[in-house]
Each structure stands twice: as structure tokens, then as C-alpha cells.
Chain A
Amino acid sequence: GAVVSQHPSWVICKSGTSVKIECRSLDFQATTMFWYRQFPKQSLMLMATSNEGSKATYEQGVEKDKFLINHASLTLSTLTVTSAHPEDSSFYICSARGLAFYEQYFGPGTRLTVT
């Protein structure tokens, strides 16, 4: 089956610094990638959708200058949290979908803690 990986699996950073999270589709070409955020005991909330080679489309209320998304290749998307603050601490999950896929495959998630 299709496999999506994320790196790192967890990261701790100081307030004001930037953190980059990678999402890779290991055995298929992901034409579309999705970034979600999940707070404790809550459901996944879509942050943005990106198509390879295009600018990401952000959901209402998500600051595009704070959460920079790059989808430069068919197997890699990155999410950079700029000037992170403690309220950005969350579980970030990416998801990928290929051109011929009916299914959207999720990565294992990245736990971000901002101190």
C-alpha cells in the first residue's frame, strides 16, 4: 500500500524559532498534499492543500505567512512554522493523494512542542 512518512516525528523548539516538517510519499507520486493540525482530544483540522508546483491553498483562519508550505516535487512537501509560539504546539499530520488514487494516505504525524 501507499506509504507516507514524516520527519521529524517529534520536535521541541524555543519560542521565536522556525521549524520545518517534511512529508514524503515513499512509493507513489503525490500530486496533492494536505496538512492538518490536531490538538489534544480534538479532530484533525485541515490547514492547507498544496498541488505540486503550485502555491498552497490555506483554510480560513490559517496564517499563510506563519505556516509556509512548499510542494516542490511529487514526493516531498514541507511545512515550516515560522516564529513559533507555545500556542503552535500541536500534532501536525500530512496526507498525500496521487493522481489516480481514490484514497488519501496519512503520515504518522509530527509532535511539535514550543517552549
Chain B
Amino acid sequence: KNQVEQSPQSLIILEGKNCTLQCNYTVSPFSNLRWYKQDTGRGPVSLTIMTFSENTKSNGRYTATLDADTKQSSLHITASQLSDSASYICVVRTDKLIFGTGTRLQVFP
């Protein structure tokens, strides 16, 4: 069964700190892996997309990694800002998009 699991479910950090979100997947066949940011009451916005051959991809303060052998990905957020408070969703594409349940990040001043 195709599954995408994320951890932690929720995370609270102080502004300026770094954090790392985890994603494990069992999806076949694998096409690509995406990280999305979803603000409360809004649709998801793409942060990064990685194919099988890509290990790292950055988008500003967001850096995603992919280990296709262990089927794990991480999203690292550097120097967090209050506006980073959102849900972060790991999505793996096969013949369709398989969504993780997300990590709810709260950044406090």
C-alpha cells in the first residue's frame, strides 16, 4: 500500500531557530517527492520538487533532502520566522499524488 508518513505531527520552536521535518514513504513506482507549505485555510504551495536522482534542493531558507535508498526525505528550515507557522506536507508522486498527514509547525517570538 502506498503510504507517506511524517514526523513529528506537530512542532513548536522559537523564532530564529532551525528545525527539521521528516518524511518516510513506501510508494511504488516513485516519480518525485514534493514538499508543500499550507497556511491555515489556504491551499498548498510548493516548496521543492525532487526526482529520484536529486539528493538536495533548496528554496531560500528551506532545504529538502532525499535518500531514495532508504525512502526518506527531510525538510530543514533555517532561521525560522513567524510566517513559517503552517502545515508542511510531504507528497510523493506515483500515478497520482500521495499526501502525508503533515507536520504542524508553530513559530513563537
Chain A residues in the interface with B (C-beta under 8 A): 4, 6, 41-46, 49, 91, 93, 95, 102-109, 111
- Interface residues in B36-76 (C-beta closer than 8 Å to A): 36, 41-46, 49
Q: Compute the total of residue contacts between A and B using a CB distance below 8 Å.
A: 36
* Residue numbers in B under 8 Å from A4 (CB-CB): 43
Contact of A102 among B36, B49, B99, B102 (CB under 8 A): B49
Question: In the assembled complex, which residues on chain A have CB atoms less than 8 Å from the CB atom of B45?
Answer: 106
User: In the bound complex, what is the Cα–Cα distance between A108 and B45 (angstroms)?
Assistant: 9
B42 and chain A: residue at smallest CB distance: A108
Nearest residue (CB) in B for A4 is B43
- B1 touches A (CB below 8 Å): no
State whether B46 touches A43 (Cβ < 8 A): no
Q: When chains A and B are docked, how far (Å) is the Cα of A111 from the Cα of B41?
A: 8
Contact of B49 among A49, A93, A103 (CB under 8 A): A103
Question: Chain B contacts of A105 at CB under 8 A?
Answer: 46
Please, which residues of chain A bring their CB within 8 A of the CB of B36? 106
From residue 58 to 109 of chain B, which have CB atoms closer than 8 A to chain A?
89, 96-97, 99-102, 104
**What's the Cα separation between A45 and B45 when bound, in Å?**
16
How many angstroms between the C-alpha atoms of A87 and B99 in the bound complex?
22
State which of B43, B96, B100 has its C-beta within 8 Å of the C-beta of A93.
B43
Distance between Cα atoms of A41 and B41 in the complex (Å): 11
In the bound complex, CA of A72 to CA of B46 (Å): 27
Q: Do A43 and B42 touch (CB < 8 A)?
A: no
Which chain B positions have C-beta within 8 A of A103?
Answer: 46, 49
Q: Cβ of B102 and Cβ of A43 under 8 Å apart?
A: yes
Q: Which residue of B lies closest to A41 (CB)?
A: B104
Contacts of B43 in A (CB 8 A): 4, 6, 93, 95, 106-109
